[in-house]
Amino acid sequence: MLEKIKNGLVVSCQALADEPLHSPFVMSKMALAAEMGGAAGIRSNSAEDIEAIKAVVDLPLIGLIKRDYPDSNVYITPTEQEVSELLATKAEIIALDGTERTRPGGADLKQLVERIHQAGRLAMADIATFQDGVRAEEMGFDLVGTTLAGYTENTKEQTGPAFQLVEKLSQHLRIPVICEGHIETPEEVEKAYQSGAYSVVVGSAITRPQLLTKKFVQALPKNQ
């Protein structure tokens, strides 16, 4: 699976409950469009979306479940419950929050990784810092992604793609480093690879048309 996404583009096909494209059927068509465009892999949220996508697309899939819990800020595959739901799908790679933040109910991250490996799947750590990446490799993760850089309290100053983090991690870690987060242009994809990325994930810039429309609207004369 890792060889299949190497030097390729992984398209994140996600729409949350409050978004207009929220639907397993729509996400399956979005993933199919990504495949037709040359995507090497798909990243998807929820068991329902994953199954719908896997029914029509033959690409490696990074699966996750976003779920809020009152006692933690971790919401990307936070507990064993979400891992179990994902293992019931055909997702080859399971993504989890790999930061040092406390998980709901004090769930043990290393045990979640072991559970994924026991099921014959790969585990991806969505991280925010260099320390997160080092820790993830030590825990046995198969790959790391800069998904959460800019989305945690200690990285909120990060407003664009985490190219420097990708470069530092790729020079230090033995496992693949995926550049994900804030990528909006093909030029930034090129820069991610120049920084040492193993693969690149792009989401909103491709699959959230409401955000794309907003950019064009902001360019109208009345908004200048």
Q: What is the 3-state secondary structure (H, E, C) of 183-196?
A: CCCHHHHHHHHHCC
Domains of the chain listed by start with CATH number = 2-223 (3.20.20.70)
SS3 content of the chain, % helix, strand, coil (to 5): 40, 15, 40
* pLDDT string in tens for the chain (224-residue length): 999 999 999 999 999 999 999 999 999 999 999 999 999 999 999 999 999 999 999 999 999 999 999 999 999 999 999 999 999 999 999 999 999 999 999 999 999 999 999 999 999 999 999 999 999 999 999 999 999 999 999 998 888 999 999 999 999 999 999 999 999 999 999 999 999 999 999 999 999 999 999 999 999 998 87
**Residue-level length of the chain:** 224
Residue 104 makes CB contacts below 8 A (sequence gap 6+) with 69, 71, 72, 74, 78, 79
| CB distance 14 to 45 below 8 Å | yes
For residue 23, the number of C-alpha atoms closer than 13 Å in the C-beta half-sphere is: 6
Strands, DSSP E only, in the chain? Answer: 9-13, 41-45, 61-64, 93-97, 122-126, 143-145, 177-180, 199-202
